[in-house]
């Protein structure tokens, strides 16, 4: 089971649990012009107008803008905040002192999110089909790695940074366009790395110093997994990220299945250079909090994290991992929609439109049929939408009404409903 893949693998984890713990490096720099209260410490990011603007290339729909600033990772009694606190507890037990950040501005620049991390100009992660843009050069962060360079520039040598991240994606029980990551970076003492001074590329990655860093990274992460899951089976594989070299992914065995939980690696020398820290070496990882919380609390559907239903929230307590008791499973309603697709059709646009119309009632969208008419060369796709509420039974009438407005809206994307 792959988890929220995007930059080759996935990632993010989280830690502490204090509401809007002030971030010493206040969400900084270029955003002042974007809005009002943007960049001071402990700022409230729940200001939808910051995200949904009338910039011609803004592609943030209102239902996404409404999620920003919910701060689930800072809520002590929410599963995301609880997992984050457990991770932080582990890092607090380590000899190095990790600075904790959790209130950076979710709006970052293309430079912070991509250039500073060596993502090529044509990297698919930059595409507006995958990413929510505010303007041409500002966006909702797609990963917490977007803050690495800023904290490194500010002089931090070891830090954790947790936050909500946003990706346009497929829709199913483990994918949601907003989720949470926790990032960590640790630089090593100069003195311990002297033997590799001046080494770059393969000379560096083959050096004993680079191996020392990779070994430390793996040991810290294995310790973290044991802290979260108890002794558990783990598997390392090589991975690729433009900002780490070498890169790895870690999978853990959970209920008989291998689950990818994080991406990590030795920070690329050019990333450190660009952050003005070219004289240092270190590691970084990023881990997905929803993935961990779904496993630990046995939460079956990623939408549940966002529900404000008491029957969900009342089940969790600060500092405790407890098994989620489904308060009921309401029946699904299936509806199919088929259309001729225009050239350059972007599936994520359609998924997003469906979420825009029906919100979290959309549990899943599967493509169930596809063909091309050999005479006209037109292609048709048929999608099955699974509607299900987590809180109540749906009526046929309300779903028919939603499906009707989905048909109407399809015209806006040049989809010719059949």
Binding site for ligand PHE (CB under 6 A): 6-7, 9-11, 143, 145, 183, 241, 244, 263-265, 284-286
By beta-carbon proximity to ligand PHE, the closer residue of 20 and 236 is 236
Q: How far is the CB of 266 from ligand PHE (least distance, A)?
A: 9
By beta-carbon proximity to ligand PHE, the closer residue of 79 and 286 is 286
Q: How far is the CB of 6 from ligand PHE (least distance, A)?
A: 6
By beta-carbon proximity to ligand PHE, the closer residue of 2 and 29 is 2
By beta-carbon proximity to ligand PHE, the closer residue of 27 and 265 is 265
Closest CA to 186 of 261, 102, 272, 274: 272
- Write out the two tokens for 33: 């012009």
Distance CA(43)–CA(19), nearest Å, equals 11
Q: How far is the CB of 125 from ligand PHE (least distance, A)?
A: 9
Q: How far is the CB of 9 from ligand PHE (least distance, A)?
A: 5
By beta-carbon proximity to ligand PHE, the closer residue of 184 and 196 is 184
By beta-carbon proximity to ligand PHE, the closer residue of 106 and 286 is 286
Q: How far is the CB of 276 from ligand PHE (least distance, A)?
A: 19
Q: How far is the CB of 94 from ligand PHE (least distance, A)?
A: 18
């Amino acid at each position: 089971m792959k988890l929220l893949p995007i930059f080759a693998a996935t990632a993010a984890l989280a830690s502490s649990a204090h509401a809007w713990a002030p971030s010493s490096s206040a969400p900084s720099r270029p955003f002042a012009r974007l809005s009002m209260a943007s960049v001071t410490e402990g700022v409230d990011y729940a200001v939808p107008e910051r995200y949904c603007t009338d910039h011609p290339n803004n592609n943030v729909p209102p239902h996404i803008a409404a999620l920003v600033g919910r701060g689930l990772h800072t809520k002590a009694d929410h599963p995301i905040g609880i997992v984050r606190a457990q991770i932080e507890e582990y890092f607090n037990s380590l000899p190095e002192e990790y600075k904790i950040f959790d209130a950076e501005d979710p709006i970052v620049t293309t430079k912070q999110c991509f250039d500073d991390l060596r993502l090529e100009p044509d990297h698919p992660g930059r595409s507006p089909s995958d990413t929510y843009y505010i303007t041409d050069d500002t966006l909702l962060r797609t990963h917490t790695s977007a803050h690495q360079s800023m904290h490194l520039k500010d002089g931090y040598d070891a830090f954790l940074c947790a936050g909500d991240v946003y990706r346009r994606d497929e829709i199913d029980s483990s994918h949601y366009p907003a989720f949470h990551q926790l990032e960590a970076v640790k630089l090593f003492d100069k003195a311990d790395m002297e033997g590799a001074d001046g080494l770059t590329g393969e000379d560096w990655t083959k050096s004993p110093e680079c191996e020392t860093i990779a070994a430390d990274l793996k040991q810290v992460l294995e310790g973290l997994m044991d802290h979260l899951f108890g002794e558990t089976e783990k598997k390392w594989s090589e991975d690729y990220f433009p900002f780490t070299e070498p890169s790895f992914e870690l999978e853990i065995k959970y209920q008989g299945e291998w689950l990818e939980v994080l991406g990590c690696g030795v920070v690329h020398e050019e990333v450190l250079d660009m952050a003005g820290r070219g004289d240092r070496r270190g590691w970084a990882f990023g881990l997905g909090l929803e993935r961990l919380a779904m496993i630990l609390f046995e939460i079956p559907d990623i939408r549940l994290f966002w529900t404000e239903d008491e029957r969900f929230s009342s089940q969790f307590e600060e500092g405790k991992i407890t098994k989620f008791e489904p308060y009921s499973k309401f029946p699904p309603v299936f509806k199919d929609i088929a259309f001729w697709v225009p050239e350059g059709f972007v599936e994520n646009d359609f998924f997003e439109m469906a979420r825009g119309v029906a919100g979290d009632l959309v549990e899943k969208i599967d493509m169930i049929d596809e063909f091309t008419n050999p005479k006209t060369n037109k292609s048709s796709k048929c999608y099955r939408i699974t509607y299900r509420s987590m809180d109540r039974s749906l009526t046929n009438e309300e779903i028919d009404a939603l499906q009707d407005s989905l048909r109407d809206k399809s015209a806006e994307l040049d989809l010719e409903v059949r």
